[in-house]
Amino acid sequence: MDPVQASISLSSGKGRMKKGRPVMAMKDRVLALLRGHEAARIRFTVPSASVPVTINHVTFTTVANAIVAGKIGVSPFASTTRALAEYHQPAGPTAPSTGQLMVPPILGRIEEAAVMHESTHAFFDLTTSNITATEEEAVSYIVTALYHRMTGLTPTRWTGAEPFISAKAVADALLSQYQAGVSGVPAVQAGQFQTLMLAVALDPTYLIPASPGAGTPAGLFGGFLGGPVRYVHNG
């Protein structure tokens, strides 16, 4: 069953044992990922970014602690052609008062990596980072690629298109540094990061608005005519 079909089954009540159980189980699974072996191993800096960026175990522990404290919620999500998972900030009086990790049924490593990707967005929100949206997406794709590589997911299952192709190149270079025993936190090469950012900016997901009038901060034309170039980060 593909992720979209699984999401439809869940929303229709199939496989539901008790009211509320799927969401609680999902929250536990997300916390396990954020506190897991791969989350503890992922580490890198991006010296060429417009603001200081360090991703390591603290990144994911921060998000896990925020979930436990109720500062971030975990909600079920039916995957779309644009996104496997999402991170939503509070928006409007009827929206939840906290940020929400929107999570599909976690069927395997692809969905797990999507949770790690969106958790990186949550971290930037929690820390009120001033990073640009394109940089933020690029960093999140590096997390995705590292998770895929660390868990041994066959590259042909996830590198069929950009930005994943460029993200894999960054991840491979970082893993080489890990394996060589480089001390401290390895740095992402500036040229590779620029290539990945361009791949993000040209990807239809970020280039084309999700709805009429919606912004595209991470896309190539994100700042066109004064549009936003950053996601809102209000902690």
Tally of CB atoms within 10 A around 200? 27
Nearest by Cα to 170 from 143, 150, 152:
143
Which helix (DSSP H) or strand (DSSP E) does residue 167 occupy? helix 164-179
Strands across the sheet containing 86-88: 72-76, 99-103, 86-88
Answer yes or no: is 233 within a domain. no
pLDDT of residue 76: 95
Domain that holds residue 167: 3-226
Domain count within the chain: 1
Answer yes or no: is 231 within a domain. no
**Is the pTM of the predicted complex or chain greater than 0.95?**
no
Answer yes or no: is 235 within a domain. no
Q: Are strands 54-55 and 72-76 parallel, antiparallel or unpaired?
A: unpaired
Answer yes or no: is 32 within a domain. yes
| 177 contacts 42 by C-beta, under 8 angstroms | no
Q: Give the span between the Cα atoms of 153 and 86, in whole angstroms.
A: 21
Answer yes or no: is 213 within a domain. yes
| 32 contacts 58 by C-beta, under 8 angstroms | no
pLDDT along the chain (235 residues), means of 10: 28 37 80 98 97 98 97 95 92 72 96 98 97 98 98 97 98 97 93 98 93 88 82 89
| 170 contacts 196 by C-beta, under 8 angstroms | yes
**Sheet strands (E) in the chain:** 44-45, 54-55, 72-76, 86-88, 99-103
Q: What is the dihedral of CA 39, 105, 114, 185, to 10 degrees?
A: 0
Tokens of 52: 């200081």
Tokens of 79: 């995957």
Tokens of 15: 């496989």
Tally of CB atoms within 10 A around 90? 13
Answer yes or no: is 78 within a domain. yes
Hey, is 51 helix, strand or coil?
coil
Nearest by Cα to 187 from 58, 43, 51:
43
Answer yes or no: is 234 within a domain. no
pLDDT of residue 89: 85
Unique residue bearing structure tokens 């990807």? 203
pLDDT of residue 223: 79
Answer yes or no: is 93 within a domain. yes
Question: In this structure, what DSSP letter does residue 42 have?
Answer: -
Tally of CB atoms within 10 A around 146? 26
Give ∠ CA 183-184-186 in degrees, rounded to 5. Answer: 95
